[in-house]
Structure 1
Amino acid sequence: MAEYEDQKHSSTEHDADTPEYGGATGGWGSLKGILSIYKNGDTSADALSILAKQNKAHGVMCTSCAWAKPAEPHVFEFCENGAKATLWEATTRKVTPDFFNQHTVSALRNWHDHDLESAGRLTDPMRYDAAQDRYIAVSWQEAFDDIGGRLKALDPKSAVFYASGHAGLEASFLYGLFARAYGHNNLPQSSNMCHETTSVNLKTFIGTPVGTCTLEDFDHCDAIFFFGQNTGSNSPRFLHNLKAAVDRGCRIVTFNPVREKGLLEFVDPQNPLQMTVAKATAISEHYFQVRPGGDIAVIAGMIKCLFAAEDKALGTVLDRQFIENQTTGYEEMAAAVRAMEWSDIELHSGLSREMIETAAEVYMSARNVIGIYGMGITQHVNGWLSLGMLVNLLLLGGNMGRLGAGISPVRGHSNVQGQRTVGICERIESETVPIEKLESLFGITVPRENGRNAVHAAEGILDGSVKAMIMLGGNLVRALPDRERIENAWPSLDLTVYVATKLNRSHLTPGKVSYILPCLGRTDKDIQEGGPQAVSMEDSLSHIYGSVGSAEPPSRHLRSEVAIICGLAKATLPENPQLRWDAWTAHYSEIRDLISNTYPDKFADFNERLFQPGGFYKGNSAREMDWKTESGKAQFTVPMTLSALGEDAGPSEMQREKMTLVTLRSNDQFNTTIYGFEDRLRGLQGSREVVLINREEMARLGLAEGQKVSLISAIHDGITRKVSDFVVTAFDLPDGCVAGYYPELNGLVPLSYHEKNSQTPAYKGAPVYVCAD
């Protein structure tokens, strides 16, 4: 393993020979990014008024990330990516039936993902006509009747109801109810591909499937540790909280293979002084480029430092009272960490002992510590252990259950956490599926077996056991791992139904019978029989908000997500007076009453609190040190390995050509939505078909800047996974790894290569070979 022993890319200094954005996050660059979408997207006249009220009480809640909305908002309470999402939706461009008359599905497959979505808003319900290879317009009733009839003819357990994380709590609750009344728990969701590692494993460690922090904690923390999260692109409004924390003396330490600009420096676009003459705010005091999957080793090293300091001065470093009264498993964890060798920790982390000791000193100097993480931890084979080690670190200092401390995953899609809260969940043992209450309230029989998550649904498509896919938003064909195999198998489905605002790649892979059902966007006015309606969502910090659209819908034929779900359910299910689909479509407040009755501990007085500034808090048991775990205490985790990577990945003397692939989202992207081709915050632009690699590794592998290469999966399961014509691009990364964009590279990750407990695809640590074309 000698070739990995001298890590040259783990300091806080940038490799000057590789691209980097010259400015700070925010500032004039963000404003230019917003203007690029505004000028080029044929934006509607409603867009600016929507932005003025965005993320404020009685306004539209952002359709982009799930970061919290403060009770006292800024004048402009939106970020670059949030504005892009709103402007992208508020376009005057339309995809009408005439559009499909002009373009066959086969021809549209040659369009770039960006061009498909930028074609505009869908306007009419459409059914795929295989003979013409086109989608043709149909009436809503014709679509509902045909879909309902086909669902009736199927074994319910062969159907899957997927949700993207966008739909509000009202539609999501009814979607889960529809699925269970129909006869299955096959309710995968976008969380399956990003943060399900959290939902499954955090519940085991501290008894809650979500983070413990609220916005108030960021006003009282002394140190924040970031692991594998890119705030600048994924949740830029968070930077305001980080800037305020730094300004009052909070210390921030970041571990990430990529030097993400948002955690380096920030210019507040709403601060005239900082926008003109004042310096940017340095966010991270220390920034360490950990090797992919090396977070376990980093935290093990930090814990060793804590133990060494505690041994020298008993009772001064660890919170012994908290450990004794609130936790279990400490002795076993401590013995395992103490037995670890520093040489192994340095190898797997890619960091020196001195770097890790520096981070540990920051931890020990702080009274209140928050641990922040993103998909850099969750999308690994041993992501459960990365998360467990972060919990270990926090528990040692008693940094759970008190103001200014806790653990905080930063979620992606705007209601991805909320959908789980109201029952979009395939696991019936989850607290979000109160079986007896659902049966009592609605006169249905809830299936008693777990349903399929996203990976299991994909496996069912491959083996033929899944016959129908109903898609409440999303672009699943593009988002799943093993994309080529999935895309080839998808047309064998008997039925595919896509509820969407815009055209995307999945729509171009129709099943034997396929429908596109166009829905209102969150920015659109939602007028039902009962008058104007509002929807709601939950943020990453467990607060609930109401949202009201104000834009004129692009077509009179659009229906809301609630109306579409109710229409499908009416056409599919037998008569049941307790399932009042028409009444619920007319009055969303009645749906909120149902949610309140189903989850009274979280949603009491839901309608009365809907527009509370800053949202209303649904509560968190771990925050109150009520540990709903098997032992009744917070659980320390024993580390059994130092790497989050699977057995096929990681540094190996015998396989020097094998590299670890890290997939990235660009600054001009949200999930599979590509707004443009500039990754400004990394100093990159143009093609997305690039392979990022440091110059030393380029030389070691005999590669040249600008050379075209293929990437081949290094997992040997009898299936060849390969992408070609990607351009080698020098970039500041740790040794032993390459990086590139999602979703272009997710086809290199097998369905079977996923996090151990949650089946979250291991997009941040897949082994590949780089081969010259």
Structure 2
Amino acid sequence: MQKETITIHPYDAPAGGWGSVKSLGTTAAHFHAYDAVPVLRHQNKPDGYACVSCAWGRPQKSHVAEFCENGAKATFSELTSKRVSADFFARHTLAELRTWPDMDLEDLGRLTEPLRYDSDSDRYLPVSWEAAFADIGTELKALAPKSVVFYASGRASLETSYMYQLLARLYGNNNLPDSSNMCHETTSVALQKVIGQGVGTVHVADFEHTDCIFFFGQNVGSNSPRMLHQLQEARERGIPIVVFNPLRERGLIEFKNPQNPAQMLGGSATEIATHHHQVRPGGDIAALMGLCKAVLELDDQARADGKPRVLDQPFIEAHTHGFEAFEARVRDTAWADIEHESGLQRSALEGAARIYARATAVMAVYGMGLTQHKRGLDNVTTLVNFLLMRGNIGKSGAGICPVRGHSNVQGQRTVGISEKPELVPLDKLAKQFGFEPPRDKGLTTVETCEGVIDGSVRAFIGLGGNFVRAVPDHNRVEPAWSGLRLTVQIATKLNRSHLVHGQLAYLLPCLGRIERDEQHGVLQTLSTEDSTGWMHASRGHHAPASEQLLSEARIVAGIAKATLAPNPRIDWDAWCDDYGRVRDAIAETFPEIFHDFNRRIEAPGGFARPLPARERVWKTPSKKAEFTLPQGLSAAFTGDGGTDVMRLMTLRSNDQFNTTIYGMNDRFRGVEGTRRVVFMHREDIAMLGLEDGQEIGLSSAAGDGFQREVHGLRVVEYDLPRGSLGAYYPECNPLIPLWQHADESQVPAGKSVPVRVLPQPMARLPIAA
């Protein structure tokens, strides 16, 4: 068990620099992964493997080291020399392991052999691959197909993802939720509506041509540090970077490039953001409407002065629909309401608008700070409105740039992992494989949890991830999980979701992406899609953690063969022997994107998927980009209306990737030795009669009759807007009701959770981790 030695202190050093180097050394030692260091030279390189951490794109010309601090930590974690075998489970029951902190489970190391849960001993016991597949197939054949969920975490390759979605549809459902349902599904829904594609329009090369960047709700220093290279290069050209975020994150304040000897040996750090605007959580719609209002006023003044217009009127007339209604809404929106909801002054928004108006090629970068709200779609579509006003979609150096999380979460949606049948070419699958695919909508992540609670979901297959820990309403979902008939987890390392199981449970260990995937002695090539829409080859460079590990593709094929009737058009074994045959099948299903897949994937820089909006081709019903009207100025749930309700943002530390905890420190926020903290403005601390360092609890203000509380959180004074709080994900997931999600996309609204502060120290809930 990790012993906490807690230190809280301000951190004023830049992102990167020697702090990053020191952190990597500590992490390599922690995971006993020194032999992984040489492998890093292959990370995100044409001859190497795609990072298993974030999905940020690769430049066409690679840097010497094309990895970041968190990407290296992910590599060290996967290539740890620590092992979890059946001998370990012989010493520990699952009831005992459920009391362990998440980080201690991660620290145990790699799983080495297939395991089956034994209820008599409450332990995982060894099982042969053949027996595991046979038993899983027997159970799946006995269940109603609509009661089974096939979840994917976002790290599986394009090849495995394609096989997995085909397995689900041949089995009889579209129950294919994935980690996008928890983060960027809002993007997929919103962008499809307004520009006709569910992904962004920016390539990494556009950073070389932009003359202004607007940044919303994305912590680049922790979540996608490789982007700091592009931001640093932009700043060295004098490009303004305007940031809207409730916290002033270190990665957007300054950066020292570890690959720049002059900076590392005493040179000054690069200032990244030129302007910081600490928008209130849930206030981004208001801030964007303020920016748009200021742009209209600048255009009015230019017309009055006889100067060139600020609006790109030719673009608006030729390429957009709905501008007049949007303009009227903006003009009717009062500055007082904008200031109240955004928490920003009119003068600040007008200043940012002037910067925007002077630029000719502007890109807007955003993350889950926009998507994880009740009106997350309005956040995204209003940002698109802002860009459309000056024609900033469909030209070099400009565009909309959502920053995805998992390393292939966008790619797995591209090859068919989606609960929405209208997004998948089902007619092609039917013709290609000779079956009738299900046509009804499948379950999202939220609907899966609701189905577990009400009993309609009977089995859960997890292709990676830590689903039970990642979802909201943890204290309702986890107790219901034991009611499942079957749970199957395909994983590399032990996590909480493997300890919360169904009546029958299997833990199937797989190869990691960094490991050599050799089939009959031939090294296989995998592929992934980054968040800018580029496809890349990926080849493992390290020996597997165990001889008993199978590739994810082999495991999916094993389940398929044991469950489905033989299909003369699908040779699962042949696909696993040569992943090139899977790519041929993908190309047949998705020819527009993947034609000549096997040849094109070998190009050193990969290849880009078609992005119609990038060419100003709008695949919307109107055949134009759509201006839309937000439903209101606030994106947030307000709670039960009490005057003491505050807005909680759930955050990741820089020693974390999603639910994977690499260490107990958050260097950039000055927290060492704990994750049980709540960041709070000093005036709110005083108003509530609290003290910095005091232990408090938080209680949901949802007002739906369910008690949701997290206790044992230490107050940390921090610079963030009044009335808002920050605390770590997933520790605070129990505070988010399942129904508090983004409209339409159902992404949990984790960035503006209505809560109350409980000032008295109380005992921790047993499953609040």
What TM-score range do you get, normalising by the shorter chain?
over 0.9
Which of 752, 755, 764 does residue 739 from structure 2 map onto? 752
User: Quick one: distance in 2 between partners of 1:723 and 1:612?
Assistant: 50
Pairwise CA distance, 1:20? 3.4
Say whether the 8 Å CA contact 2:59–2:205 is kept in structure 1: no
Q: How does 1:268-279 map to 2 (within 5 A)?
A: 268-279=257-268
Farther-moved stretch of structure 1 (524-533 vs 508-517):
524-533
2:592 equivalent among 595, 598, 601? 601
Equivalent residues of 2:638, 2:754 under 8 A apart? no
Give the conservation status (yes or no) of the 8 Å contact 2:646–2:756.
yes
Tell me the C-alpha RMSD between the 2 structures. 1.0
What is the CA distance between 1:515 and its match in structure 2? 0.3
Amino acid in the other structure paired with 2:517: D
Count of matched residue pairs: 749
Residue in structure 2 matching 1:38, options 28, 46, 56: 28
Q: Which amino acid aligns with 1:744?
A: E
Listed as ranges, the matches of 1:169-180 within 5 Å are 169-180=158-169
Question: Structure 1 residue 427 and structure 2 residue 420: aligned?
Answer: yes
| Contact kept in structure 2, 1:178 and 1:569, CA below 8 Å | yes
Amino acid at match of 2:10: E
Q: Residues of 2 paired with 1:349 and 1:435: CA distance?
A: 43
Report matched runs for 1:679-698 at 5 Å.
679-698=666-685
The answer to whether the Cα contact below 8 Å between 1:217 and 1:404 also exists between their aligned partners in 2 is: yes
Q: Partner residue of 2:386?
A: 393
> CA–CA distance in 2 between the matches of 1:647 and 1:25?
34
307-316 or 659-668: which moved more?
A: 307-316
Paired with 1:343 and 1:387, the residues of 2 have a C-alpha distance of: 23
2: distance between equivalents of 1:573 and 1:529? 25
Q: Secondary structure at the match of 1:259?
A: coil
Structure 1 residue 19, shift from structure 2 partner? 4.8
> What is the Cα deviation at residue 710 of structure 1?
1.3
2:509 paired with 1:518: yes
Aligned equivalents of 1:449, 1:422: Cα separation in 2: 18
Aligned counterpart, 2:4: none
Identity %: 54
8 Å Cα contact 1:161-1:187 kept in structure 2: yes
Give the Cα separation in 2 of the matches to 1:531 and 1:155.
Answer: 39
1:430-449 correspondence to structure 2 within 5 Å: 430=423, 433-449=424-440
8 Å CA contact 1:530–1:586 kept in 2: the answer is: no
Q: Counterpart amino acid of 1:379?
A: Q
Residues 372, 410 of structure 1: 8 Å contact kept = yes
* Counterpart residue type for residue 275 of structure 2: H
Deviation at 1:614, TM superposition (A): 2.3
Q: Is the Cα–Cα contact under 8 Å of residues 112 and 548 in structure 2 kept in the other structure?
A: yes
CA distance in 1 between partners of 2:620 and 2:9 (Å): 46
Cα deviation for residue 529 of structure 1 reads 2.6
Distance 2:548 2:117 in 1: 18
Partner of 2:139: 150
Bigger Cα displacement from structure 2, 595-604 vs 750-759: 595-604
Q: Distance in 1 between matches of 2:292 and 2:501?
A: 52
Write the deviation string for residues 557-604 of structure 1: whole angstroms up to 9, x where unpaired.
000000000000000000111121010010000001111111111111
For residue 345 of structure 2, what is the aligned residue in structure 1?
A: 352
**What is the CA-CA distance between 1:278 and the residue it aligns to?**
1.8
SS in 2 for 1:678: coil
| Alignment of structure 1 residues 402-417 onto 2, 5 Å | 402-417=395-410
State whether residues 544 and 610 of structure 1, in contact with CA within 8 Å, keep that contact through their aligned partners in structure 2: yes
Q: Aligned-pair distance for 1:457?
A: 0.6
Report which stretch shifted further, 163-172 or 596-605. 596-605
Amino acid at match of 1:36: T
Specify the code of the residue in structure 2 equivalent to 1:229. Q
Amino acid at match of 2:499: L
Please give the alpha-carbon distance, in whole angstroms, between the structure 2 residues aligned to 1:259 and 1:299.
19
- Which of residues 704, 718, 725 in structure 2 aligns to 1:731? 718
The residue aligned with 1:676 is 663
- What is the CA distance between 1:69 and its match in structure 2? 1.5
1:711·1:770 contact (CA, 8 Å) conserved in 2?
Answer: yes
Distance 2:521 2:429 in 1: 25
Stretch moving more, 135-144 or 718-727: 718-727
Within a 5 Å distance, the mapping from 1:134-533 to structure 2 comes to 134-314=123-303, 315-430=308-423, 433-529=424-520, 531-533=522-524
- State how 1:614-633 maps to structure 2 within 5 Å: 614-633=605-624
8 Å CA contact retained: 1:44, 1:90:
no
Contact kept, 8 Å, 1:336 with 1:639, in 2: the verdict is no
For 1:242 and 1:691, the matched residues in 2 are separated by 30
Q: Distance in 2 between matches of 1:19 and 1:715?
A: 33
Letter in 1 for 2:318: N
Q: Which runs of 5+ in 1 are unaligned?
A: 1-17
Equivalent residues of 1:668, 1:677 under 8 A apart: yes
Offset from partner CA, 1:245-271 (integer Å, 9 cap, x none): 111121100000011111111111100
Deviates more, 1:700-709 or 1:27-36: 700-709
Does 2:97 match 1:108?
A: yes
Deviations 1:503-536 (A, max 9, x none): 0000010100000000000111111136211111
SS in 1 for 2:214: strand
Q: C-alpha separation between the residues in 1 aligned to 2:444 and 2:272? A: 37
Retained in 2: the 8 A contact 1:127–1:516? yes
Does the CA-based 8 Å contact 1:19-1:730 persist in structure 2?
Answer: no
Moved more, 315-324 or 93-102: 315-324
Deviation at 1:71, TM superposition (A): 2.3
What CA deviation, in whole Å up to 9, does each residue of 1:625-680 have, x standing for no partner? 1111121110001123111112428xxxx733110010000000000000001100
1:48 positional shift: 2.1
- SS of the residue 2:712 aligns to: strand
- Tell me which amino acid in the other structure corresponds to 1:399: N
Counterpart for residue 656 of structure 1:
643
State how far apart, in whole Å, the 2-side matches of 1:458 and 1:656 are. 31
Match of 1:645 in 2: 636
Contact 2:28 2:34 in 1 (8 A): no
Contact 1:530 1:587 in 2 (8 A): no
Could you tell which deviates more after superposition, 371-380 or 50-59? 50-59
Q: d(CA) in 2 for partners of 1:310 and 1:43?
A: 58
* CA distance in 2 between partners of 1:722 and 1:202 (Å): 35
Cα deviations by residue, 1:164-192 (Å, 9 ceiling, x for unpaired): 00000000000000000000000000000
1:51-98 Cα distance to aligned partner (Å, 9 max, x none): 011110120110000011222111111100000000110011000000
Q: Could you tell me how far 1:277 is from its partner in structure 2?
A: 2.6
Output aligned runs, 1:42-61, within 5 Å.
42-43=32-33, 45=35, 47-61=36-50
CA distance in 2, matches of 1:48, 1:685: 25
**1:58 and 1:611 in contact (8 A); partners too:** no
Amino acid at match of 2:672: Q
Distance in 1 separating the partners of 2:586 and 2:440: 23
- Within 2, Cα distance between the matches of 1:369 and 1:321? 17
**Structure 2 counterpart of 1:715:** 702
Q: Does 1:93 align with 2:82?
A: yes
Residue number among 10, 21, 27 corresponding to 2:17 in the alignment: 27
Cα distance between partner residues in 2 of 1:611 and 1:705: 55
Helix, strand or coil at the partner of 1:499: strand
TM-score relative to the length of structure 2: 0.96
What secondary structure does 2:421 align onto? coil
What SS does structure 2 have at the residue aligned with 1:216? Answer: helix
Secondary structure of 1:370's counterpart equals: strand
Matches of 1:30 and 1:560 in 2, distance apart? 32
Runs (4+) off by over 3 Å: none
